[in-house]
Amino acid sequence: MGALRDDAPARPAVAFVGTGVMGRSMAGHLMVAGHELHVHNRSRQKAQPLLDAGALWHESAGAAAAHAPVVITMLGYPRDVEESYLGAGGIVELAQPGALLIDMTTSSPLLARRIGEAAAARGLQALDAPVSGGDVGAREARLVIMAGGEAAAYERALPVLSLLGKNIALLGPAGSGQHCKMANQIACAVGMVAWCEALAYARGAGLDPGRVHASISGGAAGSWALTNLGPRALKGDFAPGFYVKHIRKDIGIALASARELGLELPGLECARQLYEKVSARGWDELGTQALYKLYVSL
């Protein structure tokens, strides 16, 4: 996690809710930068490294929010976001006056707008700011951060967000960050199918998939997923940087949003069907590269 810099300027306290695979690293960067950290997670055990480093534990998201002018959430599902923000005793109800609320979960654009409206009604500022980059991006503080909300909230959030990512942008009003993340996830999910099929084809043709990967990953067929997840899959490493269960969740949100927009996304529908098969094999807790495992086991 690193040590606190002696020359670190005074920074506002941050309530961080959701200390899983990515959230724990993200919260750690804030502590190193000098933010007093108030944490809550469904499982206290996953927050223990942060507590050992000096973070303060709270029994609920709302209780954590009551102790800091900046609140960040990094949760699993839209239902978790809704309960944490809009439920009785939740973040919107208990946040400090004028607090800045930043939801970095990949969630529903419609829910983001609801949270923004509820926050504004209480004189709070809110951003939906989902991220891309997975466990590696979180550990190395180089996440892509896609924000939606008011410009004033975004400018206020930038000093905090810059501790977590390098490519940070305000895309528009509340919900815009989530829409951008849906575009990202559509490209990711369909792209996963592409590289898995390419390497499965190479294997079926009697070629060494590793050598084929080396040949095609730097050319027109290249992608972040092919470069980074392809080698993991070929080595049989299916540890999660991003869970199958979470890409399934994101595909569902994207398809629902597309229907609201009157769009058909046949490539994404194909990815949904394939990841449902992955889930049916009991692989929800594996990384998204487990899709390749489906192809080689067919």
Q: Are residues 199 and 132 in the same domain?
A: no
Q: Would you state the pLDDT for residue 9?
A: 52
Q: Are residues 18 and 144 in the same domain?
A: yes
Q: Would you state the pLDDT for residue 2?
A: 46
Contact 16, 37 (CB under 8 A): yes
Q: How many residues does this entry show for the chain?
A: 298
Q: Would you state the pLDDT for residue 73?
A: 98
**In this structure, is residue 193 part of a structural domain?**
yes
Spans of the chain, pLDDT less than 50: 2-5, 8
Q: Are residues 93 and 187 in the same domain?
A: no
> What is the C-alpha to C-alpha distance for residues 50 and 221, in angstroms, rounded to an integer?
40
**In this structure, is residue 123 part of a structural domain?**
yes
For residue 181, indicate whether it is catalytic. Answer: yes
Q: Would you state the pLDDT for residue 133?
A: 87
The pLDDT tens digits for 62-118 are 999 999 999 999 998 999 999 999 999 999 999 999 999 999 999 999 999 999 999
Q: Are residues 146 and 206 in the same domain?
A: no
Q: Can you give the CATH number for the domain in which 145 is found?
A: 3.40.50.720
- And the tokens for 248? 């399934």
Q: Are residues 153 and 31 in the same domain?
A: yes
Q: Are residues 197 and 71 in the same domain?
A: no
Strand partners, 172: 148
Contact 96, 126 (CB under 8 A): no
Contact 57, 39 (CB under 8 A): yes
**In this structure, is residue 7 part of a structural domain?**
no
Q: Are residues 71 and 135 in the same domain?
A: yes
**In this structure, is residue 9 part of a structural domain?**
no
Can you give the residue range of the structural domain that contains 33? 14-173
- Final residue belonging to a domain, choices 138, 153, 173: 173
**Which of the following is catalytic: 46, 181, 245, 249?**
181
With 0.85 as the threshold, say if the pTM is over it: yes
Q: Would you state the pLDDT for residue 136?
A: 87
Q: Are residues 219 and 107 in the same domain?
A: no
Residue closest to 107 by CA, chosen among 71, 73, 63: 73
Q: Are residues 66 and 188 in the same domain?
A: no
Q: Would you state the pLDDT for residue 209?
A: 97
Give the strand pairing for 143-149 and 125-128: antiparallel
> What is the C-alpha to C-alpha distance for residues 293 and 192, in angstroms, rounded to an integer?
12
Tokens 């050992």 belong to residue: 52
Could you list the beta-strand ranges (E) of the chain: 14-17, 37-40, 56-57, 70-73, 100-103, 125-128, 131-132, 143-149, 165-172
**In this structure, is residue 6 part of a structural domain?**
no
**In this structure, is residue 286 part of a structural domain?**
yes
- Final residue belonging to a domain, choices 173, 188, 220: 173
Q: Can you give the CATH number for the domain in which 220 is found?
A: 1.10.1040.10
Counting the structural domains of the chain, the total is 2
**In this structure, is residue 58 part of a structural domain?**
yes
Q: Are residues 55 and 94 in the same domain?
A: yes
Q: Are residues 140 and 283 in the same domain?
A: no
- Final residue belonging to a domain, choices 123, 142, 173: 173
Q: Are residues 124 and 197 in the same domain?
A: no
